[in-house]
């Protein structure tokens, strides 16, 4: 008994092995998302399969077609996307300053890497004429491998 008690001089102090186990469990819990992402990317490279959520579709409403085209061209030039669809005449109803408003807007569907969504959103907020532009994204669950490869190549820096 003396031998076991001699490892921890204070009475009631947990043994070093318990502390070590708690440390390992905590580190595993904190690094799990990163390790999961890395293992999915490795699997994707090895098998040529798509990892869900690698790409996203960003939705942005614009007040008119010219502004929509200007934003689309700018984000293409900056390699924040490889493809933008401009969908005309979306009818929008929304609250603004306590009132229900109606407008006809142009919808941009922007396909990009999920890792670029934050940078894309920040840029759109800078150039968009709305005080609070509608910018949100949804991760792509599935997609054609050839199309997604083309998207990737279209966003590569030269």
pLDDT for 105-139, tens place per residue?
A: 999 999 999 999 999 999 999 999 999 999 999 99
Report whether pLDDT(1) > 60: no
d(CA 117, CA 113): 7
DSSP H/E element including 74: helix 65-77
Q: Strands of 37-82 (E only): list them.
A: 55-62
Report whether pLDDT(38) > 90: no
Domain positions in the chain are 14-49, 55-154
- Rg of the chain (C-alpha set): 25
Res 131: pLDDT: 94
Q: Which two tokens stand for residue 55?
A: 């790409």
**Angle, helices 117-127/65-77, rounded to nearest 10 degrees:** 140
In order of 22, 27, 135, 155, the CA distances from 81 in angstroms are: 44, 36, 14, 6
Q: Which two tokens stand for residue 135?
A: 């910018």
Q: Which two tokens stand for residue 27?
A: 């580190």
d(CA 35, CA 7): 34
Q: What angle do CA 111, 36, 110 make, to 5 degrees?
A: 5
CATH 3.30.70.120 fits 55-154, yes or no: yes
Report whether pLDDT(3) > 60: no
131 vs 51, higher pLDDT: 131
Res 5: pLDDT: 46
CA atoms within 13 A on the CB side of 89: 0
Mean pLDDT of 63-91: 96
Name the pLDDT band for 15 (thresholds 50, 70, 90).
low
The residue count of the chain comes to 158
145 vs 44, higher pLDDT: 145
90 vs 11, higher pLDDT: 90
Q: What is the mean pLDDT of the chain?
A: 84
d(CA 18, CA 151): 49
Report whether pLDDT(32) > 80: no
């Amino acid at each position: 008994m003396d031998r076991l008690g001699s490892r921890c001089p204070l009475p009631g102090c947990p043994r070093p092995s318990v502390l070590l186990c708690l440390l390992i469990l905590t580190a595993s819990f904190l690094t799990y998302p990163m390790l999961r992402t890395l293992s999915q990317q490795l699997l994707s490279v090895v098998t040529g399969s798509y990892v869900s959520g690698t790409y996203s579709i960003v939705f942005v409403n614009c007040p008119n077609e010219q502004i929509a085209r200007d934003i689309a061209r700018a984000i293409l030039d900056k390699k924040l996307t490889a493809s933008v669809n401009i969908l005309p005449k979306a009818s929008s109803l929304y609250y603004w300053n306590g009132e229900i408003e109606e407008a006809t807007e142009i919808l941009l569907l922007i396909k990009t890497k999920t890792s670029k969504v934050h940078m894309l959103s920040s840029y759109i907020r800078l150039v968009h004429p709305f005080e609070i532009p509608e910018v949100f994204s949804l991760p792509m669950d599935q997609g054609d491998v050839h199309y997604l490869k083309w998207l990737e190549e279209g966003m590569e820096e030269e």
